[in-house]
Amino acid sequence: MLTRRQFLANSAIGAATLLIWPKLTLAATGSDTRFLFVLLRGGLDGLESVPPYGDPGYQAIRGALALSPSAAKPAHKLDNVFALHPSFDYAAQLYAQGQFVPVVAAAPPYWGRSHFQAQNCVENGTSKPDGAQTGWLNRCIACMPGVDGLACAAVMPLTMRGPAKVETWSPPLPTEVNPILLQRLQPLYAADTRLAAPFARAVTQQDDSPVLESGVGMMAAGSGKPGKPKQGGLPVMMGAAGGFMGKADGPRVAFVEDDGWDTHANEAAIVTRKIAELDAGLKAFHQAIGPMWQRTVLIVATEFGRTAHINGTGGTDHGTGGSMFLAGGALRGGRVAGNWPGIGSGELYQNRDVHATTDFRSVFKGVLAAHLNVSESLLESRVFPGSAAARPIETLVASGRAEG
């Protein structure tokens, strides 16, 4: 039997260990988890990213934008209703391993069509665009003693503003010059006997400059050269976040953002390219964070969905219900989450949008509670005030997975 003296001695040793090696203790108890929030600014089309090919109304309403597992370029089949966009190659692998979950028909509480107001609502964590001057992710960090945050962004985003300590990181300024500009400058420099040779050498050095070893095979903006990642692009930023978070003393909570997701015209080409970047970002993050992946959950969200109908320029306009994505080794994945409302006659919101059935905050709260151990009382009172109606989804994180 454990005596009172032995109990007190063991308690003292445990307390000393916590004070001297807090990171070691967190890892030993399984609470040294990681969380990344990725915000896609512009409004990703949920019907393209997670096509409901099995819905009877889908093909008719989407026309040329319709995707399916039986198409010439097949979407990745998930079940008898949903698939993933063809560019989600790596995400489909994660899904098969139980480490990826799409959430359908999801939206923030704001159902308007303004990019800025919708993004503010997503980032401040309230039901209104002007509901708070601080961000829910910062307030979450403030509820976790001893935890700092990381924002991979040039400017501190709203979701990371607040009382908690948050560092920012962004890649160095690009050294590669737009090739179109070089073409226009070349005749001018060629006419100058003193500058022609140095200019030619500079162009050659740019062409021979080292390639970032991110393994994502992206193209530099405007260069047309495969293998050179876009400076500061999503794969680079997510890879950097993974590198920081994968360290034993790395940040537990981080944020990455990306823009260019607004698709009023030529949507098929834009979405194909942007989802390929997101997919490469998932791979870069997974590789960079290393073994810590098993203790990680990341959430990808956008401010709203798109209209169900295609407009006259091959695109879609601002809508309501869209998609979210969760990934990570601590996830209970390999399934589609959310309640699908259908897109047939009478099922659309205002006869134009997917009707949102899942509040973003339900997803956030479910992950923060189960994965970061933030109490429900703090989630309700501080992180997402006024969100009692948005009940946390409690089945997103695998029980015991984070202890890895």
Higher pLDDT, 363 or 14: 363
Residue 40 lies in a domain: yes
The residue segments making up the domain with residue 184 are 175-221
Angle, helices 267-289 vs 89-96, to 10°: value is 50
Task: Mark whether 109 and 68 lie in a shared domain.
Answer: yes
DSSP state string for 291-331: GGGGGEEEEEEES--BBSS--TTB---B-S-EEEEEESTTB
Question: What is the per-residue pLDDT for 206?
Answer: 58
Q: Report yes or no: 342 and 55 within 8 Å, Cβ to Cβ.
A: yes
Q: Which of 201, 221, 241 delimits the end of a domain? A: 221
Q: Report yes or no: 342 and 328 within 8 Å, Cβ to Cβ.
A: no
Q: Report yes or no: 134 and 161 within 8 Å, Cβ to Cβ.
A: yes
CA distances from 123 to 105, 127, 235, 242, 318 (A): 19, 11, 22, 21, 18
Task: Mark whether 205 and 266 lie in a shared domain.
Answer: no
Residue 6 lies in a domain: no
DSSP state string for 344-355: STTTSBTTTBPP
* H-assigned helices in 211-252: 234-245
Q: How many domains does the chain have?
A: 2
Question: What is the per-residue pLDDT for 232?
Answer: 56
Return d(Cα 304, Cα 245) in angstroms, integer.
Answer: 28
Strand pairing class (76-77; 83-84): antiparallel
Q: What is the pLDDT of residues 298-353, one digit of tens each?
A: 999 999 999 999 999 999 999 999 999 999 999 999 999 999 999 988 999 999 99
Task: Mark whether 214 and 237 lie in a shared domain.
Answer: no
Residue pointed to by tokens 């002007």: 130
Q: Report yes or no: 48 and 271 within 8 Å, Cβ to Cβ.
A: yes
Burial 59-85 (b: 16+ CB within 10 A, else e): eebbeebbbeeeeeeebbbbeebbbbb
Task: Among 1-10, 68-77, 213-222, name the most confident range.
Answer: 68-77
Task: Mark whether 140 and 66 lie in a shared domain.
Answer: yes
Task: Mark whether 186 and 61 lie in a shared domain.
Answer: no
Question: What is the per-residue pLDDT for 173?
Answer: 61
- Contacts of residue 400, Cβ cutoff 8 Å, sequence gap at least 6: none
Return d(Cα 215, Cα 236) in angstroms, integer.
Answer: 10
Residue 33 lies in a domain: yes
Task: Mark whether 187 and 269 lie in a shared domain.
Answer: no
Give the angle 21-24-26 at the CA atoms, nearest 5°: 110
Instruction: List, in sequence order, every residue forming a beta bridge with 103; answer none if it has no partner.
Output: 324, 337
Higher pLDDT, 135 or 210: 135
Residue pointed to by tokens 């990213």: 49
Question: What is the per-residue pLDDT for 9?
Answer: 46
* CATH label of the domain that carries residue 47: 3.40.720
Task: Mark whether 217 and 360 lie in a shared domain.
Answer: no
Task: Mark whether 292 and 381 lie in a shared domain.
Answer: yes
Task: Mark whether 54 and 104 lie in a shared domain.
Answer: yes
Which DSSP helix (H) or strand (E) runs through 360? helix 360-372
Residue 8 lies in a domain: no
Q: Report yes or no: 151 and 168 within 8 Å, Cβ to Cβ.
A: yes
Residue 77 lies in a domain: yes
Residue 353 lies in a domain: yes
Mean pLDDT in residue range 354-365: 98
- Contacts of residue 148, Cβ cutoff 8 Å, sequence gap at least 6: 141, 164, 165, 166, 167, 251
Which of 287, 255, 241, 284 shows the shortest CA–CA distance to 364? 255
Task: Mark whether 379 and 261 lie in a shared domain.
Answer: yes
Confidence band (pLDDT; 50, 70, 90) for 188?
A: confident
Q: Report yes or no: 271 and 12 within 8 Å, Cβ to Cβ.
A: no
pTM of the predicted model as reported, rounded to 2 decimal places: 0.81
Q: Report yes or no: 138 and 166 within 8 Å, Cβ to Cβ.
A: yes
Residue pointed to by tokens 């990642």: 229
Residue 193 lies in a domain: yes
Instruction: List, in sequence order, every residue forming a beta bridge with 38; answer none if it has no partner.
Output: 256, 300
Task: Mark whether 59 and 145 lie in a shared domain.
Answer: yes
Residue 13 lies in a domain: no
Task: Mark whether 191 and 307 lie in a shared domain.
Answer: no
Q: What is the pLDDT of residues 70-121, one digit of tens each?
A: 999 999 999 999 999 999 999 999 999 999 999 999 999 999 999 999 999 9
